[in-house]
Structure 1
Amino acid sequence: MPLQEKLVLREQLWESREQLQQQAEFCTGLGAASCTLLWSTSSKEEAVKDILADGKLQSFLSVAGQTLESFVKSLDGEAKAEQQDSNSHEHQFVLALAGVVTNVAAVTCGRDYLSSSAHVLLETLMQLLELLKPGVFPKLKV
């Protein structure tokens, strides 16, 4: 492969990586904003009842569990954890996801739903809380 072609491919790869990073940052910001709104809304019992009646909670809980698990795995290693900005979109997103689950669990019908239909999420949350090292993202344990 000629050198010029390699340079063009390398430049395209660099641009693709940058676009992917921008998309990831946008999605994280959007997720943080959306889940923060849902967290606030789900603090009302009627809102939790409406969410349950909608029938979409299971897919949300599945995504929440995967996201929480991925986040904790990304904190593996103390150096990485100490470098994390606790005010970042990523942290806000994770905190809001956990907040929504907490708010759902605070309502009787939500607890009933979680205990009967969200075993995997509950097991994941328990495992994640055990994996979190002291001082790493303490807001999640509050």
Structure 2
Amino acid sequence: MSEGPVYDPHGTRRAPLRSLTHHAGSYGGQETPGAGGSGFQYDEATLHELVREWSDLANEFQDDREQARSIATTHGPGLEYASTGNADRIRASGDALDSALEQRVEYCRAMAAKFVTALGKYATAEEAQVTEIKQTGGTL
């Protein structure tokens, strides 16, 4: 079992603050001496779970955008000033909501892509280690 922070989406595990600050950094950094910079370390299963969760969240925000678009296309019940003015305000609110949700979708998709990239780095590192072991005459 590796040391360091463990991904816990439900907040059921707590790590001491000092261990969290030791591992702070960008995703994909290496924790080896002389490697330059620290980063978060996740196992392959956790990376797959993070990709799934960020993708699911993006899909939920995308579904919410459909609801926001219905708000953005609302019409007043009548042709008098009050109905028209109120509908204008509601449409503006729906447009703002749709824009905010679009930004959230893009953010979640970008986060999922970062973890997919990390999975690629994980696979590359694993392949390099297998090659090294085979070159030294070892077996897996």
TM-score by length of 2: 0.30
Higher relative contact order (CA 8 A, sep 6+): 1
Quick check: which one's helix share is greater? 1
TM-score by length of 1: 0.29
Which protein is bigger by CA-based radius of gyration?
A: 2
